[in-house]
């Protein structure tokens, strides 16, 4: 088992990480930011979409870059004081924050004040699975790692709006008809497809599948099957698979075998 998220995700001393998919992305991002900060790194978390204000306020400090020309000074002060800040463009209704554009994210990552930039690049309305809409995900060009997240509790449940955000997109990408069961094989397709979870990933970025909420499965065999499917063949879908539980702080890393 990997010791913490930093090791499980294979993070280097400086990374720009984008999270996509469903299954608890925001909790995962918060946990990673907290772990990195404990290691005395300076961490900026943000979104290129929208986020609930309550989720943004989980972080020690929230900075609005549309609030005036002095926001960068606030960023510096927040990083010096807390080590971790959340950056958004502005508060919007109802109870959400508007994210920043990818160009600003790229600029932030170039800032020597920032060791790690963590970006939520799409939304899932709390569902364990999703497929990207036409405009998603919004991934900045300087991203070095894309983490595609699913909630393992979706396995064995029928494809529908209770489990999958925008199930019509999921059906279009994977070919699975609504009402039919989600299996490791049909879930693997959403990782493998060019229109799936890794859509718009920069060519140079590493790809990691994060199979979250392993604690909700009584039998881990299905998670192992999905891991094998994602790593098999001459052109695997991902560089590594992490399965585990953010809640239990337990992570298992399986990496692609080098030829």
259 has a pLDDT exceeding 60: no
Neighbours of 72 (CB within 10 A): 13
Here the tokens at position 207 are 């790809």
Structural domains in the chain (count): 1
65 lies in a domain?
A: no
Q: What is the DSSP letter of 181?
A: B
Alpha-carbon distance of 190 to 103, in angstroms, equals 27
The CATH number of whichever domain residue 169 belongs to comes to: 3.40.50
Alpha-carbon distance of 122 to 146, in angstroms, equals 12
Structural domain harbouring 209: 4-43+116-255
Q: What is the pLDDT of residue 1?
A: 62
Alpha-carbon distance of 117 to 112, in angstroms, equals 11
190 lies in a domain?
A: yes
160 lies in a domain?
A: yes
- Per-residue pLDDT of 16-32, as tens digits, reads 999 999 988 999 999 99
Q: What is the pLDDT of residue 46?
A: 97
- Per-residue pLDDT of 190-228, as tens digits, reads 999 999 999 999 999 999 999 999 999 988 999 999 999
The rounded mean pLDDT for the chain is 94
User: 158 - beta bridge partners?
Assistant: 181
52 has a pLDDT exceeding 60: yes
Tell me the CA distances in angstroms from 24 to 30, 80, 95, one per residue in order.
Answer: 10, 28, 19
- Per-residue pLDDT of 53-94, as tens digits, reads 999 999 999 999 986 778 999 999 999 999 999 999 999 978
Tell me the CA distances in angstroms from 193 to 23, 73, 200, 204, 237, one per residue in order.
Answer: 19, 42, 12, 18, 9
Backbone angles phi, psi at 228, to 5 degrees: -60, -40
67 lies in a domain?
A: no
The pLDDT of 238-249, averaged and rounded, is: 94
229 lies in a domain?
A: yes
50 lies in a domain?
A: no
104 lies in a domain?
A: no
99 lies in a domain?
A: no
Q: What share of the chain has pLDDT > 90, as a percent?
A: 89
């Amino acid at each position: 088992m990997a010791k913490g998220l930093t090791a499980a995700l294979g993070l280097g001393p400086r990374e720009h990480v984008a999270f996509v998919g469903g299954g608890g992305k925001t909790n995962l991002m918060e946990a990673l930011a907290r772990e990195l900060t404990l290691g005395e790194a300076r961490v900026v978390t943000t979104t290129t979409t929208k986020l609930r204000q309550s989720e943004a306020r989980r972080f020690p400090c929230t900075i609005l870059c549309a609030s005036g020309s002095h926001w960068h000074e606030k960023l510096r002060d927040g990083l010096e004081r807390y080590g971790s800040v959340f950056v958004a463009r502005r508060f919007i209704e109802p109870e959400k924050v508007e994210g920043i554009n990818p160009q600003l994210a790229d600029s932030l990552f170039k800032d020597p004040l920032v060791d790690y930039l963590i970006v939520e690049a799409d939304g899932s309305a709390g569902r364990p699975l999703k497929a990207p809409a036409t405009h998603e995900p919004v991934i900045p060009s300087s991203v070095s790692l894309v983490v595609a997240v699913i909630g393992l509790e979706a396995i064995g449940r029928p494809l529908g709006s209770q489990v999958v955000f925008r199930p019509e997109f999921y059906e279009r990408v994977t070919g699975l008809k609504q009402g039919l069961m989600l299996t490791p094989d049909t879930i693997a397709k959403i990782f493998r497809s060019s229109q799936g979870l890794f859509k718009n990933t920069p060519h140079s970025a590493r790809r990691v599948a994060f199979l979250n909420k392993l604690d909700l499965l009584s039998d881990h065999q299905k998670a192992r099957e999905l891991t094998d499917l994602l790593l098999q063949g001459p052109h695997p879908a991902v560089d590594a698979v992490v399965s585990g539980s953010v809640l239990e702080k337990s992570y298992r890393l399986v990496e692609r075998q080098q030829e």
